[in-house]
Structure 1
Amino acid sequence: MSIARVPRWLIFIVVALAARAVTFGNPILHVDEEFYFTAARAMVDGALPFVDIWDRKPIGLFLLYAPAAALGFPAGIWAYQALALGCLVATAIVAAQLAERAGWGRGALPAGLAIILWPNLIDGQGGQAPIFYNLLVIAAVALIAPRADGQMPGRIFLRGLAAMALVGLALQIKYSVVFEGAFIGLWLMWGRWRSGVGAARVALAGLVWASTALLATALAWGCYAGLGQGRAWLYANFLSILDRNPDPALAQLANLGIIVLLLSPLVASAGLAWRRCARMPAVWPLRSFLFAWCGAAILGLLLFGTYFDHYALPLVPPLAIAAAGFWSDHRRFAWVVLAVALVGGQALLLLKRAQRGTPQEIAAVSRVIGSGPGCLHVYSGSVILYPMTGRCRVTPWIYPSHLGRVRERGAIGVDQMSEIDRVLRQRPEWVVMTGPYIGERADIHARVVASVARDYRRVTVLPVGGKRYALWRRLTPPARSARSSE
């Protein structure tokens, strides 16, 4: 059977399975999703996010992970990774449909494949937040995108409500969606104005659409306020990011340079599509809308001001769709680009596996710690050890960077040193430490080292990727004699 007769969705599934095969079941793909799973597991066990377990991500992300986390370890790891793969394939399917609607049918398949392959290049190989919310955003885009005849779709007000409701759900996965959401809302308002609707009615529609987008966030705030934790929710979700210290400018520029390099084939292809694109009246409104979406996504990344490579994941769908405009006429070039992305992605996955560790290595650490009544504190290392061992926590701030990194000083709601001292006074059964890391507060590291050297016994040191995990167990106080107790 010819490849042209194979359903596109089936091709996407097969390629996604092949591209991510090396990641399946690995609980330490990335520190972020380790924490999302751990926090979701704690929530399933009764912890209240932002109060009992602290982070800045909206609660929707933890709710998304909760069904997988409820399965426990290791089944839950496979479950969230399967969900991520499904969302990625669905995003590729919608992207290919949008490329076809724009008249770029010959580039539709390459565009969808780019959406599947590119995340491996920018740390999106697992369940990073954009892997999930990109589907919601592209669904919103598809709802309100101009029709092939150049007109806005019918019942645009209702479509706008549905689109902004999807944006609202995406906002509760990660707040950086606000930039793409603003673009969708402004596009809707501009379309209403161009159709001859008066300014007052346009403003009223915009207010309704914006309120719809904010509804999920307002509901989350209201629930926390009802629990008496409204201020805790507000600080964690919005105010704490304003207190965080910026990373060094040179480091940020270097990170941005890496993003530009890794996305350059998509950006260049989209740019060539823009320059060479025929302004055909029937499809130009949709094409211009898609190019504008690219611009909004790029602007959102630049304005956000933090340039970890996975922050570029929201740029992949719009850039891949726009690139289809060039790839339609240059299919051989498209296949070469995709082949390079496939091979480069696999090479990076294997490199990161060597650097971050294997499932077997982290399992060896977990076996030494074991389960039991005593608590665990991972000062530095993988937080997935909490659900792997089932041991209790001694602080809401279990993400190691929150208590140990310079940029988090004064930005987590408590003094870092005071909280570390409180943790050490509780004398958890086990403390896990790796070596010093870039950006760590040297004084806090020294405080923890001094404490474990005095009150703990180092049981062993085990390798996990490029790090060595020192496992410290609390010294048992000597039993008092019968005479001394009289």
Structure 2
Amino acid sequence: MTGATAPTAPGRSWYALVTDPRHRLAVLAIVAVAARALSFGNPMVHVDEQFYFLAASRMWDGALPFVDVWDRKPIGLFLLYAPAAALPLPWGTFAYQAMALGFVVATAMLVARLAVLAGWARGATFAGIAYILWLNPMGGVGGQSPVLYNLSMTAAALLTATASGPHRRWRGLAALALVGLSLQIKYSVVFEGMAFGLWLLWGEWRATRSPLRFVGYGVALVLVAILPTAAAYATYAALGHGEAFVYANFTSILARKPDPFGNAIGHLEGLALMLSPLVAMAFGSRRAGEGGDADVRRLLFLWFAVNLAGILAFGGWYEHYGLPAAAPGAACSAGFLGARHWRGRATPAILGIVALLGLGTVIVNRVKRGGPGQLAALTAAVGQGPGCLYVFSGPSIVYRTTGRCTLTAYIFPPHMEEIRERGAIGVDQIGEVRRIFAQRPAVVVMRRPYPGEQTEIQGVAIDELMRGYRRRTTLPIGNLPVMVYERR
């Protein structure tokens, strides 16, 4: 089945326009820009993205991730942010969001291509649109890590799906190389990568029935997948920081505590609400399709299932944890979305509802998290010096906007104060807070306490502020008050 244009039904000119493969890139680009426009230029989209941008900025100053700026995310994520972080604000914010926009459109195009190969050509463009729209309700309107690695993993899926014939092995190796690059953006892709590897090995066995070739190919697949991570470790080891790399990238992940049960279940319920329509539509796609490759359909369903299982296995279940499932889920939904009895009214209605839900999510989060004007006010209140800044809690991006020096490698506030991080960052958090205050930061920023925060650490910080600081001002950041303290 090719991506030929579907016949135009009476009154269905919109359908011919949208689904014509010649228009697909333009349609997906327009949808992506419209879906993400309200977030453009806002550096407060998400606390994670603030930190990624900040960490990449520190790299330009000579800081080394995991040593001078601590986090668990692989080095590849910060390298992706680095070009944007070299620019002054607000251009740096526009730059990383433009990068994310490009990744989203490219991923949507690959989702559509997978749908065509699976025999769901009539729903291919709709699947690409679904991918774009499903990101917003799950917090993917900016540059979250899955928004970036979904591109390489979807490309890996496409290479795996087409790994047959004389180029079978090279396509498989290229697929696992992309998995390896994705691992250096976030390690959670390991389950999907294993699924692709096993699928390729099964194809190798069916093609050759040679144990020697089977084992050799398997070793080669593993090697290309781990090569980027091995290279990153070797670089850190050569710099004398191999132990720091291993702890940040692997050991600390296992040391992190689970979220309180009530919070975790609440997050899971919200995530299930977002993903269940994709699951239902994927189920409805099982018997849909015109031609296509049944093996491609099986691979897509396997990819989606493994993705969902990986989300459950990692726990936490914050809204953005569902973002990796958007690509396989949208691809698997193509048969349903393109079915003749659905595409006339139900498909536009489904996509329209998701678009409105995503728009509402973006607006609500803008109100909750704040915008550029509030950040500018906080930046002015903190000032640019002299003296160092300590953001105990609040927006970490203020380190970048003020240009003030830092007193710790742990500049992402949740690492220091959240219950689930107790004993999981390589230092005693209470001791580190006391060490920071012993260096007499000139300005301290603190937001209102929140559930999930370690009360004993909050108490230590408040005691230090009471003894040596006075409140300069209190400003709103989103719907929360943020206090700025200056040293007496």
TM-score range for the pair, normalised by the shorter chain length: over 0.9
> Does residue 184 of structure 2 align to residue 172 of structure 1?
yes
Counterparts of 1:207-286 in structure 2, within 5 Å, are 207-274=219-286, 276-277=287-288, 283-286=293-296
Q: CA deviation at 1:153?
A: 4.3
2:307 — aligned with what? 297
Match of 2:447 among 434, 444, 455: 434
1:479 — aligned with what? none
Q: CA deviation at 1:360?
A: 0.6
Q: Is the 8 A contact 1:38 1:69 kept in 2?
A: yes
- Amino acid aligned to 1:94: L
1:362 — aligned with what? 375
1:28 — aligned with what? 44
Match of 2:132 among 116, 131, 146: 116
2:104 — aligned with what? 88
Q: Is the 8 A contact 1:72 1:387 kept in 2?
A: no
Match of 1:52 among 44, 63, 68: 68
Q: Give, in whole Å, the separation in 1 of the partners of 2:172 and 2:428.
A: 44
1:445 — aligned with what? 458
Alignment partner of 1:140: what SS?
A: helix
1:83-138: CA deviation from partner (whole Å, max 9, x where unpaired): 00000000001111111122211101110001111111001110000101000011
2:8 — aligned with what? none
1:282-326: CA deviation from partner (whole Å, max 9, x where unpaired): 521111111111111111112222311111111111111111111
- Relative to the length of structure 2, the TM-score reads 0.94
Q: Give, in whole Å, the separation in 2 of the partners of 1:265 and 1:295.
A: 14
Q: CA deviation at 1:417?
A: 0.6
> Does residue 408 of structure 2 align to residue 395 of structure 1?
yes
Change (3 A) 1:328 1:68: same
Match of 2:209 among 184, 197, 208: 197
Q: Give, in whole Å, the separation in 2 of the partners of 1:197 and 1:212.
A: 23
Q: CA deviation at 1:328?
A: 1.4
Q: Give, in whole Å, the separation in 2 of the partners of 1:98 and 1:307.
A: 27
1:201-250: CA deviation from partner (whole Å, max 9, x where unpaired): 21221111111000000000000000100000100000011111111223
- Amino acid aligned to 1:60: G
Q: Is the 8 A contact 1:40 1:63 kept in 2?
A: yes
1:480 — aligned with what? none
Q: Give, in whole Å, the separation in 2 of the partners of 1:255 and 1:338.
A: 23
- Amino acid aligned to 2:226: L
Q: CA deviation at 1:256?
A: 1.4
- Relative to the length of structure 1, the TM-score reads 0.94
Q: Which runs of 5+ in 2 are unaligned?
A: 1-12
Q: CA deviation at 1:253?
A: 2.2
Alignment partner of 1:377: what SS?
A: strand
Q: Is the 8 A contact 1:40 1:66 kept in 2?
A: yes
> Does residue 336 of structure 2 align to residue 326 of structure 1?
yes
Q: Is the 8 A contact 1:146 1:285 kept in 2?
A: no
> Does residue 386 of structure 2 align to residue 373 of structure 1?
yes
Matched residues, number:
469
Q: Give, in whole Å, the separation in 2 of the partners of 1:109 and 1:136.
A: 19
Q: Give, in whole Å, the separation in 1 of the partners of 2:315 and 2:380.
A: 40
Alignment partner of 2:128: what SS?
A: helix
1:319-353: CA deviation from partner (whole Å, max 9, x where unpaired): 11111111111212221110001111111111111
2:168 — aligned with what? 156
1:66 — aligned with what? 82
Alignment partner of 2:404: what SS?
A: coil
- Amino acid aligned to 2:317: Y
RMSD after superposition: 1.4
Change (3 A) 1:153 1:313: farther
1:340 — aligned with what? 353
Q: Give, in whole Å, the separation in 2 of the partners of 1:153 and 1:407.
A: 49
Q: Is the 8 A contact 2:289 2:335 kept in 1?
A: no
Alignment partner of 2:385: what SS?
A: coil
Deviates more, 1:448-457 or 1:30-39: 448-457
Q: Give, in whole Å, the separation in 2 of the partners of 1:407 and 1:135.
A: 30
Change (3 A) 1:278 1:142: closer
Q: Is the 8 A contact 1:265 1:337 kept in 2?
A: no
Q: Is the 8 A contact 2:100 2:142 kept in 1?
A: yes
Q: Give, in whole Å, the separation in 1 of the partners of 2:151 and 2:289.
A: 29
Q: CA deviation at 1:368?
A: 1.3
Q: Is the 8 A contact 2:258 2:315 kept in 1?
A: no
1:403-462: CA deviation from partner (whole Å, max 9, x where unpaired): 111211111111011000000001111100011111111111111111112211211000
Match of 1:405 among 409, 412, 418: 418
Q: Give, in whole Å, the separation in 1 of the partners of 2:386 and 2:74.
A: 31
Q: Is the 8 A contact 2:443 2:487 kept in 1?
A: yes
Change (3 A) 1:462 1:278: closer
1:391-413: CA deviation from partner (whole Å, max 9, x where unpaired): 11110001111111121111111
Q: CA deviation at 1:146?
A: 4.1
1:482 — aligned with what? none
2:4 — aligned with what? none
Deviates more, 1:296-305 or 1:92-101: 296-305
Q: Is the 8 A contact 2:97 2:142 kept in 1?
A: yes
- Amino acid aligned to 1:42: R
Q: Give, in whole Å, the separation in 1 of the partners of 2:385 and 2:209.
A: 67
1:455 — aligned with what? 468
Alignment partner of 1:460: what SS?
A: strand
Deviates more, 1:6-15 or 1:193-202: 193-202
> Does residue 193 of structure 2 align to residue 181 of structure 1?
yes
Q: Give, in whole Å, the separation in 1 of the partners of 2:322 and 2:148.
A: 14
Q: Structure 1 vs Structure 2: percent identity of aligned residues?
A: 49
